[in-house]
Copies of this chain bind each other. A is one copy, B any other.
Amino acid sequence: MEQVDNKQVIFKGYIERAPMETDMEIKVNKVELKAPKGSGSILVENLYLSCDPYMRARMRNISSSYIPPFVPGQPIEGLGLAKVLDSDNPNFKPGDLVAGLTGWEEYSLIKKTETLRKILLDDQIPLSYHVGLLGMPGFTAYAGFYEVCSPKRGEFVFVSAASGAVGQLVGQLAKLHGCYVVGSAGSSQKVDLLKNKLGFDEAFNYNDEPNLDAALKRCFPQGIDIYFDNVGGEMLDAALLNMKDHGRIAVCGMVSLHSYYDPKGIHNLFTLVTKRITMKGFLQSDYLHLYPRFLDLVISNYKQGKIVYIEDMNEGLESAPSAFVGLFSGKNIGKQVVRVACE
């Protein structure tokens, strides 16, 4: 049987710190472009791979109900967009496009096909958006904003990591909902995008702010109704001081932290009591029944030009480790994607 080269990004071993490129290595193995008979699997060619902050959790050797750790020596697993080359599964046929969990490699044999969604080609929608705007990050924004934040028209919304894969859609959904929206990001270029491309009412570069509390007081003189928290840490502590009574904080991720344990700690939780704040962590996977409604809303608004989406596209599987590592220093501008092969 003919075998072809299959470049892979291998996970080397567990870490407790922020990821580095040396935690991964590029290897080449041989693969048959066949789904074995009786396996129920499909063999795909990966086109786009998604770099997401949650993946850091899988680089730790902690088994939890949240997500299983990666397997050392095996390719990184992540969300991607792939084309079916061969199928032993009646639900898929060669030529199908699928989005879901795949491997960081050129070709993957996917046994667990339950996570895959079939994608229909649409000239108006870039294929890569199925791992971003229309994928897990976009749905995280949708579920978090509508289901966790209980937004009301006219409310004051703050989004951190606002130009990121999730934040940029949170801000735009909040604007469509009639809210006043301010975003924080880590560079003047990102702040410019927030204000001039993504339609935020205001934005600030947290690296330029010696005092985050003062920055938030300047942007929200009347206080914050909703904080969509993508970063945790000092920004969360400052936001707690600026919430309005009955404010809501959706805790989506804590990309500022390099481990589950926050060494500096959060010091202003007493405001939860005095201001009757609700702080709620969430995972998009609890809301999957809303996925069709999400797709309808976002696709319709995107096609009307009311939603835009910024991607940071790296070229080639070899660039995946540096693209992933860059997430944790804010190197990416917009949703970080890696193009593995052309469509």
Contact = CB atoms under 8 A, between A and B. Distances in A.
Interface of A: 57, 64-66, 232, 236, 245, 251-254, 257, 260-283, 286
A66 B270 CA distance: 12
Contacts of A281: 271-278
Nearest to A263: B267
B278 A278 contact: yes
A294 to B, nearest CB: 18
Contact of A279 (B66, B272, B283): B272
Please state the number of chain copies in the assembly. Answer: 2
Main secondary structure of the interface of A (DSSP, over half): loop
Contacts of A279: 272, 278-280
Contacts of A269: 232, 236, 251, 254, 262, 266
Contacts of A286: 276
22 contacts: A65-B245, A66-B274, A232-B269, A232-B270, A236-B269, A251-B269, A254-B269, A257-B270, A260-B268, A260-B274, A261-B267, A262-B265, A262-B266, A263-B267, A273-B282, A273-B283, A274-B281, A275-B281, A276-B283, A276-B286, A278-B278, A278-B279
A281 B243 CA distance: 12
A169 B281 CA distance: 28
Contacts of A267: 261-263, 265-266
Smallest CB-CB A-B distances: 6 pairs: A265-B265, A272-B281, A66-B274, A273-B281, A260-B270, A279-B279
